């Protein structure tokens, strides 16, 4: 069988998490329209008769951002190229961006087979535009393959997987056949809560909050989850709670629904909001909150 690791890379918000979820045909990575929703390296494992593909969803590679959290996200994204067999570089549309030049250099240094996947092709009019862009791209970098896809609509994803399998080395299975991710249900539940907060709150606040599962109890017939939402300022705490607790109640309801689908049993969820000043720019605080990929 062909088995190996595949890094999904690209700038923030190009659809890497959506792509992995649709390739796996189940939700492992959280998604939102806001950049840098993904903060951790998450494995998604797809085993078939042809082989085993171990996808690595990563934070988006980006420039700027001097906080400790931004430095952590960039380190996590860049180290993903170490120890993988294939790279899928996902871009959004038929144009290059400033930071793509940095990615070109990193890929040249890595010396790995790279597939360029152009996302959201359903929004592009005419095949000629795609063919012209692919011709130009092939002159810029020796891509193994160039594939037009739509991650959200699952367009051409089977073709993408076939091309990936061909590039992977022959190997025994690395993970058990029925394993889908390397992350625990506890971790995935924290991410579900953060997703609901990110989608419901304004543009800036999601970057100032994180979620920690304080207790995770598996009891007969029900799983009890006690979670802390950490923010950096008291004013942010009031926004997350909302008037009469309305925002927090809605987040809790939406999160519990997804958790029950994930775990396959009834969930009792308790949420608290607490302030930890400057947590996103404190290396020690990041470590204590689970940022240690």
Q: What is the pLDDT of residue 183?
A: 95
Q: What is the pLDDT of residue 78?
A: 83
Q: What is the pLDDT of residue 254?
A: 97
In whole numbers, what is the pLDDT of the chain averaged over residues?
93
Q: Calculate the dihedral angle through the C-alpha atoms of 124, 125, 126, 130, rounding to the nearest 10 degrees.
A: -20
Residue 204 has pLDDT above 90, yes or no: no
pLDDT band at 65 (very low <50, low <70, confident <90, very high): low
pLDDT digits (tens, 9 = 90+) for 274-285: 999 999 999 999
Find out if CATH 1.10.10.60 is the number for domain 2-167. no
Q: What is the pLDDT of residue 80?
A: 86
pLDDT digits (tens, 9 = 90+) for 74-92: 888 888 888 899 999 999 8
Q: What is the pLDDT of residue 62?
A: 73
The topology under which CATH files domain 185-288 is GMP Synthetase; Chain A, domain 3 (3.30.300)
Residue 166 has pLDDT above 80, yes or no: yes
Residue 37 has pLDDT above 80, yes or no: yes
Domains of the chain by residue range? 2-167, 185-288
Give CA–CA dist 190/262, Å, rounded.
12
pLDDT band at 293 (very low <50, low <70, confident <90, very high): low
What average pLDDT does range 254-269 have in this prediction? 96
What average pLDDT does range 148-153 have in this prediction? 93
pLDDT band at 184 (very low <50, low <70, confident <90, very high): very high
Percent over 70 (pLDDT), the chain: 99
Residue 197 has pLDDT above 70, yes or no: yes
Q: Which residue has the tokens 């017939």?
A: 221
C-alpha distances out from residue 15 to 129, 135, 211, 257, Å? 21, 23, 22, 24
What average pLDDT does range 198-225 have in this prediction? 92
The sign of the dihedral angle between the CA atoms of 209, 42, 83, 89 is negative
The candidate with the shortest Cα–Cα distance to 42, out of 80, 85, 4, is 80
β-strand partners of 213: 227
Residue 17 has pLDDT above 90, yes or no: yes
Residue 64 has pLDDT above 70, yes or no: no
Percent over 90 (pLDDT), the chain: 76
């Amino acid at each position: 069988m062909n088995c190996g690791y595949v890094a999904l890379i690209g700038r923030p918000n190009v659809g890497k998490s959506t792509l992995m979820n649709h390739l796996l045909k189940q939700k492992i990575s959280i998604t939102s329209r806001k950049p840098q929703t993904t903060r951790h390296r998450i494995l998604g494992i797809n085993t078939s008769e042809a082989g085993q593909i171990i996808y690595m969803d990563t934070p988006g590679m980006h420039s700027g951002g001097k906080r400790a959290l931004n430095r952590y996200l960039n380190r996590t994204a860049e180290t993903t190229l170490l120890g993988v067999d294939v790279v899928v570089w996902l871009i959004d549309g038929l144009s290059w961006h400033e930071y793509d030049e940095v990615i070109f250099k990193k890929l040249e240094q890595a010396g790995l087979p790279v597939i360029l996947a152009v996302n959201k092709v359903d929004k592009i009019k005419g095949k000629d535009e795609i063919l012209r862009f692919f011709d130009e791209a092939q002159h810029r970098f020796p891509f193994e393959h160039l594939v037009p896809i739509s991650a959200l609509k699952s367009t051409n994803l089977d073709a993408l997987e076939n091309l990936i399998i061909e590039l992977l080395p022959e190997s025994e299975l690395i993970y058990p056949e029925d394993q889908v991710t390397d992350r625990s249900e506890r971790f995935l539940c924290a991410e579900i809560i953060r997703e609901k907060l990110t989608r419901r709150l304004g543009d800036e606040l999601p970057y100032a909050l994180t979620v920690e599962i304080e207790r995770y109890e598996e009891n007969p017939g029900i799983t009890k989850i006690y979670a802390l939402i950490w923010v950096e300022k008291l004013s942010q705490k009031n926004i997350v709670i909302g008037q009469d607790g309305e925002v927090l109640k809605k987040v809790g309801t939406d999160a519990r629904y997804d958790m029950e689908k994930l775990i396959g049993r009834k969930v009792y969820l308790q949420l608290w909001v607490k302030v930890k000043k400057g947590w996103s720019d404190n290396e020690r605080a990041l470590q204590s909150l689970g940022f240690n990929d």
